[in-house]
Amino acid sequence: MTATRVLITTDYLRPGDEVDEFLRLSGLETVHLPMVGRRDPEQLVAALAGIDAALVANEPLTADVLARAPRLKVIVRTGVGYDSVDVAAAARLGISVSNLPGINANAVAEYTMGLLLAGARRLVQSAHGVAQGAWPRADGCELRGSTLGLIGYGASARAVVPLARAFGMSVVCTTNVPARLRSDPSVGFVDLPELLATADYVSVHTSLTERTRGLLGESAFKRMKPTALLVNTARGPIVDENALVAAVRAGQIAGAALDVVSEEPLPPDSPLRGVDGIVVYSHMAGQTAEARAAAGRRGAEELVAALAGRAQFPVN
């Protein structure tokens, strides 16, 4: 009987680790091909040859790639977002797709506060100046008394709320979740134009869909305060990067802290490079030791369950 083969591309999962051992004890054969940078579609097709299930990072699993993986029956994302997978195509092909909702919410929330603090106090610019031989003395702003605007009200956004409140911030939020789920009395729920106009810090926590692609563009930046800082730990394409660069250079907003960008890793010719006020990080918001351990374990458990027809977190 042919063994059930599992492809693992998440870069922090390794042969012989806890996840690998769990999968092997479940009777599965594992193949590790860690994702580093962007992977060519033909490389993905080759990697998926003879594979029955995949525990994946952010590889672009397009309709064409999936159609050329005839044995593939299960895909599990070791994270929350699944926009890199053509879910509709997977459904047509009988492939189960799962994510891990809320798995790294605490990590993302703490990181978001870190970006807020770094931006408010210009910590990156200060450290860079010292490294270059200068001794920067520009002042910054306190978070206390300011307003944080959350775009989205999923697990990571909800985890930000008590942290922001502990710093003395007011919190407003725009979301499409039903009113019955907007139960936190410390959050003011408003529409997007009002949030943009009133927030001192705008933090993106929504998923990438056709509705949210380019949500923050020229018209949005014109509504924001000239002192406002944009933080994005969600998905790069939610922000129109050319419009963002123009807005920061024109002084329409103060700057941005971006953990995600439209193309990752950031290309050498990206317009985001070299813009005073824009700091780009390497998509690390959810990457703590604790979150990685939890994602590996739960991802492996979900994969085994999905192979048995009992997926707990299917998205198709």
- Amino acid at site 280: V
22 Cβ contact partners less than 8 Å away, ≥ 6 residues apart? 297, 300, 301, 304
Can 283 be counted among the known catalytic residues?
yes
In whole angstroms, what is the distance from residue 266 CA to residue 255 CA? 18
Can 235 be counted among the known catalytic residues?
yes
Which of 207, 190, 15, 201 is CA-nearest to residue 101? 207
Supply the DSSP string of 248-300, one letter for each residue.
Answer: HHHTSS-EEEES--SSSSPPTT-TTTT-TTEEE--S-TT--HHHHHHHHHHHH
Which of 39, 122, 158, 283 is catalytic? The answer is 283
Which of 110, 264, 297, 301 is catalytic? The answer is 264
Supply φ then ψ for residue 124, to 5 degrees: -65, -45
Instruction: State whether the Cα torsion 251-252-257-258 is positive or negative.
Output: negative
Can 32 be counted among the known catalytic residues?
no
Which of 235, 241, 298, 302 is catalytic? The answer is 235
- What 3-state class would DSSP assign to 190? coil
Name the residues annotated as catalytic. 235, 264, 283
